[in-house]
A and B are shown apart, each in its own frame.
Chain A
């Protein structure tokens, strides 16, 4: 089946479309990352962990001298406070960690000496009238950073690579790795996209095809249902449904054991809201296509041969509308990812862990302070995926549905 398609005319047409092939490769890469995250490559805990001072720029970009000094002072301050509690020194020092970085296993006296040295340089630096504009102070700042670095245990080669990767795109306001958050969000986005698009296309094509094929009251009910749902503006319906299901706790018993699912904290409200709005598109298209297919000779032939109506629907009609399902899947995937951002901004989307929507809406505060790494990272991550899907959809439409406007 697959081999046959690869030799078909539509496949040749598709693969001649160079950008579409690139888009397909990009999407596969994203999928691979999503699978890796799903298998535990990046856990949610890691995305919530503080790995460094807040608002570090990516690619070890240049920072204001003032902020560099402040970041060092924060570490010095925390270590000093821990040292003041000799009763449970180990525990207090153990709490100070930046991701993989831990406080070095040195005797307290040595640590204290380092901290004191650090404060000395700090005091000198703070004295200077304009820290940011004075390049002669740079060696001192570097020395302060080196001293602060010595407070932490050195990392092994692999660990320092991991740490560099995490710091690659900088940190957000709470010192969390933007890279990890962006990568983890790939999984969230693909999960939301695939589940929503799949369920919507499934419901839409089943209802659409049966409405057109059986006609009569089935058709009336389906038309009434989608006219009704599509008469509520899309975003309002989305928001109202997400609201209706958030905070709900479902209680049911499974094998005699009571189970309660805190629906509000899962992604279920998002799925319900997105699916309830998204199935309408494929339903309309498939209904129209089925009305056309129904008249064709092979359907009449099948009817004349005496096949059941359900058999004809599943065996002849649905496969011949499959290309439309594919196009709609691709369209809805984009829609789901973009809607997630809006829902998350309104506080109705992803509740736990990061997502591109959460990242973008959290970055609003950072943008005011002129920090663009988080919004930039989330936008680029999303842009590449959505762009790839846009290109793919266009190509699919060109190949399978050329008359479409």
Chain B
């Protein structure tokens, strides 16, 4: 297995080089220095800034330097917008709030969606199934932003007024497990509801796909109960699409939380990135994108390893 992981990592090196190349090129379409200093910056100001940040070097030199920084995990480049604070500091402070949001959201979404998907598959074609599918399609058709706005209004503002005390904070974040429900539970619930529309349909389809298979007929003929059929036979065999789905969702959760973090003032990675973009904070944008891409690639490799662990038919070679 280790050989496989190393080979996959090696295969992804050119991909990662390409990502960095594309990101760096895209960020230079518009001169980042004029973007930061303003269009009226004088020539000397511009040159001084370019020399200080190394942006006066040829593109190739900048590319190699940035790659070197990433490879050595050297994130000491200074933020433009907040002088004295390094990109690495921004990254490390932003990671925990993001994870506090995404990890519970992913776990809850998967558990609930699989359960609902199984219920739907069990009642296939009958009223509960149709109702659930209709709800899922309806839910998918509403914008994420609407859920956030209404979720905040009814979940925090309206509920607090009705209860007479503040159950959920309207916005903000405090580190620590005690504060977690107050600040993070509501955003997590919103993100679960949003993700459920698509996931439920997907898991239902994955389960339904298995119902017609021969081994189910065999198991039924041998007298296996419905519960055993659903939970032991079908669920296990539907694991491959389920894992794919969960792994695809991991990077999506980082990004999906951009909106939640922006709206609920949670100082996570997504919010940092957007703030950096608004402040034209070029080094932060560049490094954050590179880190996001690295996370993505690692999850992809992990997905393949997980396949092999779950399904003995898959060989890592």
**Could you list which residues of chain A lie within 8 angstroms of chain B, going by C-beta atoms?**
224-225, 227-229, 231-237, 239-241, 243-248, 338, 341-342, 345-348, 356-357, 360-361, 363-364, 367-368, 375, 379, 382-383, 386-387, 390-391, 394, 405
Contacts and interface: CB of A to CB of B under 8 A. Distances in A.
Contact of B296 (A231, A243, A341): A231
A390 B140 contact: yes
A233 B252 contact: yes
A236 B22 CA distance: 13
B149 A232 contact: no
Contact of B143 (A228, A229, A233, A382): A382
A391 B133 CA distance: 11
Given A227-B15, A345-B145, A391-B137, 15 more contacts: A228-B22, A229-B22, A231-B300, A233-B251, A236-B288, A237-B289, A240-B289, A241-B26, A244-B30, A341-B143, A347-B278, A360-B143, A367-B153, A390-B141, A405-B209
Interface of B: 12, 14-16, 18-19, 22-23, 26-27, 29-30, 35, 137-138, 140-146, 149-150, 153, 157, 205-206, 209, 241, 251-252, 254-256, 258-259, 262-263, 273-274, 277-278, 285, 288-289, 292-293, 296-297, 300
Contacts of A391: 137
A236 B292 contact: yes
A364 B157 CA distance: 12
A348 B285 CA distance: 15
Nearest to B26: A244
A232 B22 CA distance: 10
6 tightest Cβ-Cβ pairs between the two chains A and B: A235-B255, A228-B18, A386-B141, A387-B141, A233-B251, A233-B255
Nearest to B140: A390
B273 A236 contact: yes
Nearest to A228: B18
A387 B254 contact: no
Contact of B241 (A237, A386, A405): A405
Among B22, B205, B241, B289, residue most surrounded by chain A Cβ atoms (within 10 Å): B22
Contacts of A338: 143-144
A248 B141 contact: no
Nearest to B136: A390
A349 to B, nearest CB: 11
A224 B149 contact: no
Contacts of A245: 29-30
A394 B142 CA distance: 17
A345 B259 contact: yes
Contact of A383 (B30, B141, B145): B141
B139 to A, nearest CB: 10
Nearest to B202: A405
A233 B254 contact: yes
Given A239-B273, A244-B26, A357 B289 contact: no
B143 A232 contact: no
B150 A239 contact: no
Nearest to A380: B142
Given A347-B278, A383-B142, A240 B153 contact: no
